[in-house]
Amino acid sequence: MSEPSLPEPRLPLRIAVLASGRGSNLEALHKAAENGQLPIVIVAVLSDKAESGALSYARNNGIHCVCLQPRDFASREDFDLALMQAATEQRPGLIVCAGYMRIISPAGIAVAPCPMINIHPSLLPKYPGLNTHSRALANGDSEHGASVHLVNNILDGGKVLQQVTVPVLPNDTPESLAERVLNQEHKLLIETVRRITENPQFLQSP
Ligand code: GRF
């Protein structure tokens, strides 16, 4: 008897993006969807920063936006519960953290309506946290890169789904290295999301 087939992914995959900054990963993902390269729809951009480039991009492109200000909430948990509630209302099948600069509390992660992935600019498990480019340079690494991983309760510690390697050049500064890594991040994020749309089990596979 043949193996039962895997359930078909529900397409287009509904994605909610969490972002705090410039929003170039959001833009790369959105453009890939608009060009017909990816069977996704970005159903919301949620941010903790009213002035972020990510929110401006979303507004200018007719994407549903939610901005929550941490100062309006009594605790990190209250903020995260409101954030997840706002995400849940858009019925996402995937949450993508793309330059989202707040640590999500275990209470927030527990109520996430779907799997969450994050793009991080290092070859995890190397350099979780901030300043990854200067740390790679300070250590004399010959290679640096980016990772897409599942979000769990450990900072940048969830299962790595895919990585891209970028060579460190002799005269690299944190800025020049960051720029080359960012270019690759965009491709890596698109490629990872494509694999999830093709087979949601990719999120579980070893
Ligand atoms: C990226 O380097 C991402 O890996 C990190 O924050 C940066 C966000 O860039 N988590 P952008 O806002 O997507 O342009």
Q: How far is the CA of 109 from the centre of ligand 1 (A)?
A: 20
Q: Alpha-carbon distance 184 to 175, whole Å?
A: 15
Closest ligand 1 atom to Cα of 21? 12
pLDDT in tens, the chain (206 residues): 444 454 556 899 999 999 999 999 999 999 999 999 999 999 999 999 999 999 999 999 999 999 999 999 999 999 999 999 999 999 999 999 999 999 999 999 999 999 999 999 999 999 999 999 999 999 999 999 999 999 999 999 999 999 999 999 999 999 999 999 999 999 999 999 999 999 988 988 66
Closest ligand 1 atom to Cα of 120? 4
Q: Alpha-carbon distance 131 to 9, whole Å?
A: 36
CA geometry: angle at 178 spanning 176 and 181, to 5°?
Answer: 110
pTM strictly above 0.85: yes
The residue among 90, 145, 138, 141 whose CA lies nearest residue 113 is 90
Helix axes of 174-198 and 24-34: crossing angle, nearest 10 degrees: 40
Tell me how long the chain is.
206
Q: How far is the CA of 45 from the centre of ligand 1 (A)?
A: 14
Distances (CA, A) of 94 to 45, 90, 162, 178, 192: 12, 11, 16, 26, 12
Q: How far is the CA of 129 from the centre of ligand 1 (A)?
A: 12
Give catalytic residues, as residue numbers: 120
Ligand 1 pocket list (CB less than 6 A): 19, 21-25, 98-99, 119-121, 182, 185
Residues 6 or more apart whose Cβ sits within 8 Å of residue 197: 9, 11, 12, 13, 38, 39, 40
